[in-house]
Amino acid sequence: IKYDSAEFMTSAAKYSQCPADIGSEVAFAGRSNAGKSSAMNTITRNSKLARISKTPGRTQLLNFFTLSGGEYRLVDLPGYGFAKVNKNMKADWEENIGEYMAERLSLKGVVLLMDIRHPLTEFDRMMIDWAVTAEMPLRAVLTKSDKLKKGPAKSTYLKVQAELQSKAPWLSAQMFSSLKKEGVPELNQWITEQLTD
């Protein structure tokens, strides 16, 4: 799969607006500021790719990107956990993402971005529990690994990895840094495995 071929396809404000549910896609989830856009830009070697997801009016949408000329897709899910997200926005988010997660047959895996300094928030645990129940492959990506020294970064990774593996064999973790370009081949390989399995 050619990751540098990624192209913006379309946005969806709700489940019914998603593109046809055919082929395979991997979705990216995480709380706002987790480093999701940076990670998507890094793995596609396109520094502007996820900018589209951040333009006003698009932050609450599901944004679809095609790979390899349309055969595969990456999906940028709306960031969760704005400090002052109001109740309606939260309900909307849960409804739309919940429906997408529950219904989408072409969804083959979820990449869950977590700042390595603040892993496993309440939202992250919700997503993980869902992946366990749905038997959905999930890759926890510990972003901004450059922000910690090697020792503390490794021990956080080992702790998260152990917790995930104790829950289900289809959950795994890795470290990642967009700044240092660390963990890029590992993440690309994991996504390829889910898309082509």
Q: Which residues bind ligand GDP (CB under 6 A)?
A: 30, 32-38, 79, 143-144, 146-147, 177-179
- Residue ranges with strand state E in 53-128: 62-67, 72-76, 107-115
C-alpha distances in angstroms, 137 versus 68, 93, 145? 22, 22, 22
CB 37 to ligand GDP: min, Å = 3
Give the type of residue at 99: E
Q: What is the bridge-based pairing of β-strands 138-143 and 107-115?
A: parallel
24 vs 148, beta carbon nearer ligand GDP: 148
Structure tokens at 136: 């959905």
> Taking a C-beta distance cutoff of 8 angstroms, is the pair 4, 45 a contact?
yes
CB 177 to ligand GDP: min, Å = 4
19 vs 81, beta carbon nearer ligand GDP: 81
Structure tokens at 4: 């540098």
Q: What is the bridge-based pairing of β-strands 24-30 and 107-115?
A: parallel
CB 186 to ligand GDP: min, Å = 14
- Maximum C-alpha span of the chain: 46
177 vs 194, beta carbon nearer ligand GDP: 177
CB 181 to ligand GDP: min, Å = 9
